[in-house]
Amino acid sequence: MNLTLDIAWTHVRARVRQTGFAVAGVATGVGFSIMMASLMQGSQDDFTTRLVNTIAHITISDERRAPPPQPAETFYQSAEIHGLTPEARRPGIKNPLATMAALEAWLPGAIGPSVRVPSIVRYANQDVAVTVVGIDPRREETISDLPQQLRGGATLTDLFRATNAILIGDGLKAKIGARIGSNITVQTSEGARISAQVVGFFHSGVRSIDERTAYVLIKTGQILSKQTGLINEMRLRLRDPMVAREVAARIERDTSYKSISWQESNEDLLNTFLIRNIIMYTVVGAILLVASFGTYNIISTITHEKARDIAIMKSLGLSEATVRGIFVVEALIIGAAGGLLGFVLGYLLCIALGSIEVKSPFLDSNHLPLAYSWLHYFLAGIVALGSSVAAGYAPARKAAGVHPVDIIRGAT
């Protein structure tokens, strides 16, 4: 065995209890860091997955980011024009079928048309503001998880069962007390009013959707908006949701319609995740920093106790670098042992945490969402090793700088 490693290992082995406490400190830090990272990542992944599966990856609406320039502005660029009224435009996406066909030629996913109508649902003397979305059941299967979210055996084709069939979220159902077959009134600000028959319920897991969204056929949506042939929204599902931002930008360039990716529509939420991650890594860092104090303590104690041995090793001709190396290696041994033990502890803590039954209105599952990632172990291990070496370096440097004569004189 290498001399430095041999001496370091012998020192560490000779102080089983002290070393054990230092290793336990690091292991606890690493274990709890892994558990915390796993829980935070798990809850974040769970939420993101649910979000991504529930909403469209990209939504193209009939709006534009900036109002189109007025014809007068285009023709008389040097003239200053006052009092122009914006050109009234007919709502909806122009030539929706041609637009869809053009996009389908290159889109890495599927696209579906819909009509979005802000409405009020009235039932049993209760008025609830909802968004009614007119959909094409055949295409909907390819662009959303709605078929899987339907409860009680309902299917999307049930929308064809009645004249004005409607699917409502289970949150809305609970709010107004509707049942299958109930006839509810849907009314819009344009004055359109229909009586719709409830043919099914869905549960997306996102409360705002479950309480405030209803699905009808496209033609029912068009009746509500009082515009035949209207398509005011196209929804897309991509094979890789992570490229939504880039695809949305290209669609917007090609069609000039406002195209919003799921990331853009949830920017605030994703920023919150970033802040949450910063908090998590700060706390994890603090845990490991506290653990490294134990390493500092043990290495300081060993160097203090071993002052005479250090002096004699230096007098025999061992260089400062070798002596320093001995104590840095000791810190590394503690860090590595603590890290490995911490991996086991972290894994067991995750299993234990995952087995606890939790009843929460915010979770569909009865168990806490946990993410098992080698990255958590790798990061915790690296930080544990790094902080152990940093904690061991100061006393090691001090020990290496010992003047052997001072110690030998003191001893004699």
Partner 1 sequence: MTGPDSEVALIEARNVSRILPGIVPTTLVHDVSLTIRDNEFVAITGASGSGKSSLLYLFGLLDLPTAGEVLIRGRATSRMTEAERAHLRLSEFGFVFQFHFLLPEFTILENVTLPMRALGALSDTGMKRRGRDLLESFGLAEHLHKRPDQLSGGQRQRVAVARALANEPPVVFADEPTGSLDSKASEQVFLVLQDLVAKHGKTVVAVTHDLSLAARMQRRIELLDGAVISDTAAVERV
User: Taking a C-beta distance cutoff of 8 angstroms, is the pair 233, 258 a contact?
Assistant: no
Residue from 208, 315, 365, 366 binding partner 1 (CB under 8 A): 315
341 is a site residue for partner 1 (CB under 8 A): no
Sign of CA dihedral 30, 35, 41, 45: positive
Nearer CB in complex with partner 1: 58/396: 396
| Amino acid letter, 131 | T
| Burial class of residue 236 in the structure, from the number of CB atoms within 10 Å of its CB (0-12 exposed, 13-18 middle, 19+ buried) | buried
Q: Quick one: which segment of 134-142, 193-201, 286-294, 311-319 binds partner 1 (CB under 8 A)?
A: 311-319
User: Taking a C-beta distance cutoff of 8 angstroms, is the pair 118, 188 a contact?
Assistant: yes
Give min distance, CB of 389 to partner 1, in A.
Answer: 22
**364 torsion bin: left (phi>0), alpha (psi -120 to 50), beta (else):** alpha
Nearer CB in complex with partner 1: 375/411: 411
16 is a site residue for partner 1 (CB under 8 A): no
411 is a site residue for partner 1 (CB under 8 A): yes
304 is a site residue for partner 1 (CB under 8 A): no
Give min distance, CB of 276 to partner 1, in A.
Answer: 48
Largest CA distance in the chain: 106
Q: Which of 157, 50, 60, 149 is nearest to 111 (CA)?
A: 60
Give min distance, CB of 364 to partner 1, in A.
Answer: 58
314 is a site residue for partner 1 (CB under 8 A): yes
Residue from 10, 131, 183, 366 binding partner 1 (CB under 8 A): 10
72 is a site residue for partner 1 (CB under 8 A): no
Nearer CB in complex with partner 1: 10/131: 10
Residues 155-174, interacting with partner 1 (CB under 8 A): none
Give min distance, CB of 301 to partner 1, in A.
Answer: 15
Give min distance, CB of 313 to partner 1, in A.
Answer: 8
Give min distance, CB of 317 to partner 1, in A.
Answer: 3
Give min distance, CB of 397 to partner 1, in A.
Answer: 14
410 is a site residue for partner 1 (CB under 8 A): no
101 is a site residue for partner 1 (CB under 8 A): no
Residues 316-335, interacting with partner 1 (CB under 8 A): 316-322
380 is a site residue for partner 1 (CB under 8 A): no
Residue from 162, 283, 312, 390 binding partner 1 (CB under 8 A): 312
**141 torsion bin: left (phi>0), alpha (psi -120 to 50), beta (else):** alpha
Nearer CB in complex with partner 1: 276/403: 403
408 is a site residue for partner 1 (CB under 8 A): yes
CA distance 401 to 395: 10
Backbone angles phi, psi at 77, to 5 degrees: -65, -35
11 is a site residue for partner 1 (CB under 8 A): yes
CA distance 187 to 209: 19
17 is a site residue for partner 1 (CB under 8 A): no
Nearer CB in complex with partner 1: 122/308: 308
14 is a site residue for partner 1 (CB under 8 A): yes
297 is a site residue for partner 1 (CB under 8 A): no
Residue 262 sits at the vertex; the CA angle it makes with 258 and 267, to the nearest 5 degrees, is: 95
Give min distance, CB of 299 to partner 1, in A.
Answer: 16
Residues in the chain: 412
User: Which residues form the interface with partner 1 (CB under 8 A)?
Assistant: 3, 6-7, 10-11, 13-14, 308-309, 311-322, 403-405, 408-409, 411-412
